[in-house]
Amino acid sequence: MTAQTGTPDTVTTVYKVSGMSCGHCEGSVSAEVSEIPGVSSVKAVASTGEVTVVSAAPLEDEAVRAAMDEAGFELVGRV
């Protein structure tokens, strides 16, 4: 159920988010998640509701949930 991959120096995690419908939504989610310490890359895709995050270490789900809430969207879980 948990999809975490990456190199020894990074972790890639894909999250499912509800409520994204456009490029502006993608930008809002990406901006908020990018502020989490250790995050090096964020790619949000409104059409699939998926957000791919590359970080230096696994992220706490609550930190990701708080960033999604701040952007105005709901974290459903990991893909």
Distance CA 75, CA 44 (A): 12
- CATH at 29: 3.30.70.100
Query: Which amino acid is residue 12, in one-letter code?
Result: T
Q: Is residue 53 part of a domain?
A: yes
Tens digit of pLDDT for each residue in 6-53? 567 899 999 999 999 999 999 999 999 999 999 999 999 999 999 999
Q: Which amino acid is at 19?
A: G
pTM for the full predicted model: 0.89
Domain of residue 42 covers: 19-78
Q: How many domains does one find in the chain? A: 1
Inside any domain, residue 13: no
Cβ 50 vs Cβ 14: under 8 Å: yes
